[in-house]
Amino acid sequence: MGRGMARGAGGTVEAAEVARFDALAARWWDPDGPMRPLHRMNPLRTRWVMARAAEAGIAWPGARVLDVGCGAGLAAEAFARAGAEVTGIDAAAEAIAAARAHAAAQGLAVTYRVAPPETLVDEGAVFDVVTALEVIEHVADTGAFLAALAALTRPGGLVALSTINRTLRSFALAKVGAEYIARILPRGTHDWRRFVTPAELGRELRGAGFRPVATAGMTLRLPFAAWVETRDLSVNYLAAAIRL
């Protein structure tokens, strides 16, 4: 499951990806709608990110956080509620409009922008924590994407990603199972060939100037459909790295 930005001809964002997630904007905050998997996964993802930030010596209340590919703000709002100064960016204008409206209704001060990460790089912006949750599997050039995240992370800062491993098990569960059998995701949400293995992600993070520090699996436990942290990285997983 995911949403994100993809590099395409004529720009850093692929129009088809933007259109797909813009079409879901009106139901993004429906916990039983098409983004239901992200609603259920979000508490685990955000707690894990904040725990890794604490281990890196980053004081969370007041931390400057950038959520790349933020969609309508599920993670961004959770970070803001925990006391961070949050900026969320996404190329999908309708999703950002939904994010702004929801944050305003909740009385949360989150800065949302319709922009790719390269725009903030050009502006010289830097953050204590940069997240890209369910995003990198939608990016054609992962090296360039991680280089942009590196430019946006201060030295000693944290980057945290969640994504899907490229395995036969992930093809069966995250692609065929989720989109065609259980239908908990819209068809076409994922391209299995773009899934990134932990080894590939680790190499590319090092190449971008990061030091990987942690990984964890995310597993859906039945019968209550709760996401829990595990050592199983074969499908959904989290990764964190420190900017050198």
CA atoms within a 13 Å half-sphere pointing along the CA-CB vector of 156: 7
What are the pLDDT digits (tens) for 5-22?
433 333 345 666 667 667
| Beta-carbon contacts of residue 25 (< 8 Å; ≥ 6 apart) | 72, 92, 94, 95, 97, 98
Question: Helix 93-106 vs helix 15-22: angle between axes, to the nearest 10 degrees?
Answer: 40
CA 160/CA 238 separation, integer angstroms: 7
Q: What is the mean pLDDT of the chain?
A: 87
What are the pLDDT digits (tens) for 56-108?
999 999 999 999 999 999 999 999 999 999 999 999 999 999 999 999 999 99
The candidate with the shortest Cα–Cα distance to 69, out of 47, 92, 85, is: 92
| pLDDT above 80 (res 177) | no
Q: For residue 167, count CB atoms less than 10 angstroms from its CB and return exposed for 0-12, middle for 13-18, buried for 19 or more.
A: middle
User: What integer pLDDT is reported at residue 85 of this predicted model?
Assistant: 98
Superfamily of domain 15-243: Vaccinia Virus protein VP39 (3.40.50.150)
pLDDT tier for residue 133 given thresholds of 50, 70 and 90:
very high
Domain edges within the chain: 15-243
- State pTM to two decimals: 0.88
Ranges assigned E (strand) in 84-204:
85-90, 111-114, 127-133, 153-164
pLDDT tier for residue 224 given thresholds of 50, 70 and 90:
low
**Is 45 one of the annotated binding-site residues?**
yes
Sign (positive or negative) of CA dihedral 118, 125, 58, 44 = negative
**Is 133 one of the annotated binding-site residues?**
yes
| pLDDT above 80 (res 131) | yes
- Residue 170 tokens, joined: 């992930």
